[in-house]
Structure 1
Amino acid sequence: MATVALLGNPNTGKTTLFNELTDKYAYVGNWTGVTVDKKMGTLRHTKIAVVDLPGVYSLNPITKDESVAIEYLLHGDPDLILNVTNASQLKRNLLLTIELLEFGTPVIIALNMIDDLNRTNVTYDLPTLAQRLHCQLKATNARNKKGVAQLRDDLVASLTELPPAAALHITYPTLVEQGITQAAKKLAAEHGMTPDFARWLTIQFMNQNQTIRAYAQAHDLKPLLQSAPFYDAQNFENQIFTTRLTFIEDTLAAARRQNTPTSQSELTNQIDRWVTHPLLGLPIFVVIFYLMFKLSFDWIGTPLSDGLNALVSGPISHGANSLLTSLGALPFLKSLIVDGVIAGVGGVLTFMPQIFVLFACISILEDSGYMARAALVTDRLMQMIGLNGKSFIPLIIGFGCNVTGIMATRTIEQPKERLITTLISPFMSCSARLPIYSLFVAAFFARNQALVVLSIYFLGIAVALIMAKVYQLVFKVKGNSNFMIELPQYHLPRPDIILQGTWDKGKGFVKKAGTIIFAGTVLIWLLSNLSFHGPVTDIDQSFAADLGRWLLPVFAPLGVGSWEIVSALLTGIMAKEVISSSMIILFHFTGRTALVATFANLFTPLSAYALLVFILLYIPCFSTLATIKAETGSTKWTIYSAVSSFIIAYGLAFLIYQIGSLFI
């Protein structure tokens, strides 16, 4: 089966184009040697495989993600490369393109986001670009599906009908060119390489590509290894870069045509004067997130959740109870299904509207182009603690799930910065905590739900930033790595992209409801209905009660006076979503409405807020801890994350409650 490899810089619309070109989007295992998922699909209406590789700026890898691209070219043997570029950022994007064109495998360049280019005062003559780059170029706009069908047809034709184009040969400075020619001839003669691959390998080796140098070492490529000191002494790396940049500038100058900028391009610049302003950027960021929480908790999410809760705790619960009674089900089994599964899992699912509204808001911010500005704005703040805006991106992703946020740290070049970001990521308030927030803000902060939840989220960010500064001092991180990001044009969010993005982010919550939350619900029901002497009718005699009462003195200084709350908190280590279902079961309620009313007798607004702070920061769930172990390769850091987060959570919640009690 023929294979097309998708390669391109980050933020070129590569994933959107992949989704438009293929019938399905799948994660298939891991790449050999790296913990990065394969993303594969099939070209629509064909049997041609499409491999979506991580976004990279060059084939000289710095991060784990970037190493996948070069490893795939060395070992994956694609039949065609589709190089996705941002049409309005060609000067930077073509640096990667040249490396791909020199490789020798046929290349088609997709000038994506072509509409953004057309709105500026510059455009390019495509035939001139194609002639100078010796490959096909196709203009596309994946967001609006423009040119996608034609690109698909051209991919099929290139694989089945058209002869492949020759590899691009740029003439480098005389000494460099002589070195390339000599080494390539020896590699072809002694190791049976094709001339194109031998030339490409030599150039990458001269360019101090460490993956290629390791490859040369492993295959004992003496023509390269013996010449390495000479290449480095002559600074061939800089000469190669300068030659490529000159080639790109000459190529773009020859193809450049003047254009009249559109009003949208001017509108983007006007908006950016405000949202990326040194002083106003952060306040605007805060206001945008506040509005996001207003939508999720006050205006849309909570009313929908209330309606769903009424359905689950009313007709569904009563109907299931009547059905099981008519079937003659054992009381133990009936209680498990009605009081355990339906009350617990169903109670958690009633929070779906709030979670999906929140994810829809995040998808809108991503598709509109604002998230890139958020990273830029926060870069100034991150620089103060020894990180940069690239570290803030995983933290933002962590609002959805800490697991994916930690996995996103792979894009951070410096190992110490990557470790710091990994350790502070669990302090980001993931969506799993939203159900428990919703219960408490409905009980104690009904008029200011969005504001209270926003304060919890930003408290998590503040703790993360403070700990990052501490780690910077402890790890002796000196200097900051550079942060580069392209700012795309603003777009009106596309409904289908918003729906797909919302579902991609939220389906994990639904999946957990059928797996981890279900298991946790059954476990807590069993613990609350069993003791050392067998089944119990009084929950105060159960395992859950014994465990909760034993640990209650530990949590009493935080304002917790109920063993049921303590037992529920323990299940949160399995998954934070289980806390809500555990409370519903332990208090013997069929829905969240009665639970909210009960909280008024168990907490004050102060103790409720202290508990929310504890839930925000305490031990990460099992999935997050497993991801920390996988990404750091260290059990030590995994244990440290669990212990340190508990200490920080307990200490901060203790201070809030004890100091607050002096004034309230």
Structure 2
Amino acid sequence: MSEPVIATIALAGNPNAGKTTLFNALTGSRQHVGNYPGITVEKKEGYVDTPAGLTRVVDLPGTYSLTAYSQEELVARDFLIHERPQGVINVLDATSLERNLYLTVQFLEIGIPVTVALNMVDALEAKGMTIDSQRLASLMNVPVVRTVARSDKGVREALDAAMNHPQKVWQPLHISYGPDLDPVLQEMTDLIKERNFLTQTYPPRWLALKFLENDLVVRQLFEADSELHRNMRDMADDVARHCEKTLKTQPEFIVADYRYGYISSILRQGVLTIQPDLQGRADLSDKIDSVLTHQLAGPTIMLCVLYGLFSVTFAIGQVPMGWVESFFEWLSALAMHMPGGLARSLIVDGIIAGVGGVLGFVPLILIMFLGITFLEDSGYMARMAYMLDRVFRIFGLHGSSVVPFIISGGIPGGCAVPGVMAARTLRSPKEKLATLLTAPFMVCGAKVPVFILLAAAFFPGHGARVMFLITLAGWAAALVVAKLLRSSVIRGPSTPFVMELPPYRMPTAIGMVLHTWERGWQYIKKAGTVILAISILIWAMMTFPALSVEVAAPIEAQIESLETRLASEPVEEIRLALHNDISEFSLRLKEETLANSLAGRMGRAIEPVTAWAGFDWRTNISLVGGIAAKEVIVSTLATAHALSDDQTQSFSERIASAPGWNTSVAVSLMIFVLLYSPCFVTVVAIAREASWAWAAFSVVFNTSFAFALAVAAYQLGMRMGW
């Protein structure tokens, strides 16, 4: 930014509290989305013009606490402590005030200046309840602003309150944790102060409290001072044994109880009231949930919603997708006027065919992303997780596995990398590992173009049905494999599932547009960078080494002879026959060149095996490239089948009419692409979350499993005459 930033304000809060909606309302288009260094946790920041100057606003990951149980919690905590923003706007769901204030208390215990944004107060009042925000501000000694972020009410007021917060230095809140913990907590605090251990970075009492809460990250910090670490550990162990013996509990549970007791004492002092005449009113979300999460009706409605999403996507998206395809066909025809040679081949067969083959599906993907965003922002996605937990437990998975699956592409369009990262929320190592290994079976955004292409080529007019069935196939495969793994190599007990169901709300137009554009831009950017680079590399592998003179010369001589005859032939019928002969010999020359190339040799080397699944050597090339990035499958197929000089046919039409292709091959390929090796980035993510051994297992097992099913599908299809 050219204008200097005068302050940094962080937005924090529980998931589904409206934090991101408030962030979008503040920053609009002036925001950037990326990942925190070294980890796949989304980082959002934007800029707002204020009377004092330009202010940086950082949207922290949604979290329920500041104890390092998950990567999101650790990221939020580290940002606050090490970046030390001028303040935090803590966005609270006013309909669940007590639970949301638990995070607020932890912010206050660090000492950072906190401004409370009481969001969704309209939903609270609709329940017949009211909050005295001035009373809450007085009791907690923090600014409190009433907001309805989705309609932009109170948004700027919350930012102004954070910018003008009266607290200029960090002042940690001290809560009593009872006669069992307070003495040892004080003793540990004094010891930290005495040794001046990290006191410039962390509040001493907060460090002692986190040590008592058995925060593994904080405990690792103390390993730098072995004597202090030993003393702290001894004190913590002594009080833990005392609590277990006398209270049958652990210090971390006592801390949580006293925090909630502190919150409860505040709320009882006239902060939260219920109107007597409306006390019995049934909550609208509960009424809706009685239908949408019903044991029988719920799953049926969910399947209808998914099928409806695909139907709308294909019904609306076909026209703009045709425009994009026509643009790249025009661009390719324009490039054909270049002189023949490597430069024209690179541009037409490599760049335009490769990148254009991927970008052609952008309209459909954007529409699909828009529908997914609506389901997420409305609160329905959480209901899907709740309903699927009943099924997941049968297959040895946890209800929390649903979220990684959905993020990975359980509703097509996701990405397995953040899906794998989302598995960090699972406490059981066994359930986490089963989730890591099966999440890549989902229909990620990179696989969607492959399925759309094959559906258009072999199932015209049935794209929605194909996408629906392939999505169900991904879920079914994941569950079956999870059951197999949990019954063999990763046996272990199941853990209970608890999940918050946020209230239903109508998403805002600006929020949906921004979320859709963020996802769509990531796809487009990948096509313009990673896919472009890989497309050029694969084009080179398909072009070199060049065809030997002994093989090429006779074909080129034949083409030259036909072109000479064509130039002097006056009869139109004969000219047409000569033109067809030239095209046939040109096609033969390109096929010989491709077969002789490095990629062609690789594809032919494994063709005797892959032929069992119906894959020829051209398809093999694309599948090998797909291990790097699944988007490359489409671009490589486009390059491999860009053999004809006739640019009037669409990509799907060329595939449908290509030799060796039929419905059985298409079904087999869809199954294989759905299930085979995760892309390279996902493999690295699995290695980080588990180990390189499990990452290698994922590549080998998934590919073997996918190939076995693809062979079965192809052989059965051929016997049925497909």
Partner residue of 1:229 out of 234, 237, 243: 237
Partner residue of 2:334 out of 304, 319, 329: 319
**1:301 equivalent in alignment to 2:307:** no
Gap regions ≥5 residues in structure 1: none
Q: Distance in 2 between matches of 1:497 and 1:262?
A: 33
- In the other structure, the counterpart of 1:177 is 182
**1:448 equivalent in alignment to 2:462:** yes
- In the other structure, the counterpart of 1:538 is 590
- In the other structure, the counterpart of 1:604 is 662
Change (3 A) 1:436 1:157: same
- 3-state SS of the aligned residue for 2:268? helix
- State the number of aligned residues: 651
Q: What is the CA deviation profile of residues 199-250 of structure 1, one whole-angstrom value per residue up to 9, with x for unaligned ones? A: 3333333333333333344345476444223321232434333222222223
Q: Distance in 1 between matches of 2:242 and 2:221?
A: 22
Q: Distance in 1 between matches of 2:356 and 2:279?
A: 51
- In the other structure, the counterpart of 1:93 is 100
Contact kept in structure 2, 1:87 and 1:114, CA below 8 Å: yes
- In the other structure, the counterpart of 2:208 is 202
Cα RMSD for the two superposed structures:
3.0
Q: What is the CA deviation profile of residues 125-172 of structure 1, one whole-angstrom value per residue up to 9, with x for unaligned ones? A: 1122222222222222222222110011111111xx555695433333
Shift of the alpha carbon at 1:574? 2.6
- 3-state SS of the aligned residue for 2:31? coil
Contact kept in structure 2, 1:43 and 1:152, CA below 8 Å: no
Gap regions ≥5 residues in structure 2: 1-5, 244-250, 553-588
Partner residue of 1:551 out of 597, 606, 625: 606
Shift of the alpha carbon at 1:72? 4.3
Partner residue of 1:20 out of 9, 21, 25: 25
Q: Distance in 2 between matches of 1:379 and 1:13?
A: 25
**1:624 equivalent in alignment to 2:634:** no
Partner residue of 1:581 out of 599, 622, 635: 635
**1:214 equivalent in alignment to 2:220:** yes
Partner residue of 1:253 out of 268, 281, 291: 268
Q: Distance in 1 between matches of 2:343 and 2:713?
A: 43
Q: How does 1:203-602 map to 2 (within 5 A)?
A: 203-219=209-225, 220-221=227-228, 224-235=232-243, 236-254=251-269, 255-259=271-275, 266-297=283-314, 299-313=315-329, 315-322=330-337, 324=338, 329=339, 331-399=341-409, 400-531=414-545, 533=547, 537-542=589-594, 543=597, 544-560=599-615, 562-587=616-641, 588-589=643-644, 590=647, 593=650, 595-596=652-653, 598-600=655-657, 602=660
Q: Which AA in structure 2 matches 1:506?
A: G
Q: Distance in 1 between matches of 2:682 and 2:14?
A: 28
- 3-state SS of the aligned residue for 1:81? strand
- 3-state SS of the aligned residue for 1:82? strand
Shift of the alpha carbon at 1:361? 1.0
Q: Which AA in structure 2 matches 1:312?
A: F
Shift of the alpha carbon at 1:476? 4.4
Q: What is the CA deviation profile of residues 28-70 of structure 1, one whole-angstrom value per residue up to 9, with x for unaligned ones? A: 6527xx6646544445444544444332222222223323344
- In the other structure, the counterpart of 2:714 is 657
Q: Which AA in structure 2 matches 1:304?
A: P
Q: Distance in 2 between matches of 1:16 and 1:65?
A: 18
Change (3 A) 1:626 1:175: closer
Q: How does 1:38-77 map to 2 (within 5 A)?
A: 39-45=44-50, 46-77=53-84
Contact kept in structure 2, 1:135 and 1:165, CA below 8 Å: no
Contact kept in structure 2, 1:618 and 1:650, CA below 8 Å: yes
Shift of the alpha carbon at 1:470? 2.0
Q: What is the CA deviation profile of residues 299-331 of structure 1, one whole-angstrom value per residue up to 9, with x for unaligned ones? A: 112232123222321x33223334x3xxxx453
> Which segment is superposed worse, 20-29 or 87-96?
20-29
- 3-state SS of the aligned residue for 2:34? strand
Identity %: 35
Q: What is the CA deviation profile of residues 264-310 of structure 1, one whole-angstrom value per residue up to 9, with x for unaligned ones? A: 9844332211211122222221111111111222x112232123222
Q: What is the CA deviation profile of residues 349-400 of structure 1, one whole-angstrom value per residue up to 9, with x for unaligned ones? A: 2111111111111111112211111111111112222322221111111122
> Which segment is superposed worse, 351-360 or 95-104?
95-104
Larger Rg: 2
Contact kept in structure 2, 1:3 and 1:51, CA below 8 Å: yes
Q: Give TM-score, length-normalised by structure 2.
A: 0.83
Change (3 A) 1:195 1:211: closer
Change (3 A) 1:479 1:91: farther
Q: Distance in 2 between matches of 1:578 and 1:57?
A: 39
Q: Which AA in structure 1 matches 2:494?
A: N
Q: Distance in 1 between matches of 2:612 and 2:295?
A: 42
Q: Which AA in structure 1 matches 2:449?
A: P
Contact kept in structure 1, 2:456 and 2:652, CA below 8 Å: no
Q: How does 1:157-168 map to 2 (within 5 A)?
A: 157-158=164-165, 167-168=172-173
- In the other structure, the counterpart of 1:121 is 128
Q: Give TM-score, length-normalised by structure 1.
A: 0.90
Q: What is the CA deviation profile of residues 562-594 of structure 1, one whole-angstrom value per residue up to 9, with x for unaligned ones? A: 432232322222322222222222222547626
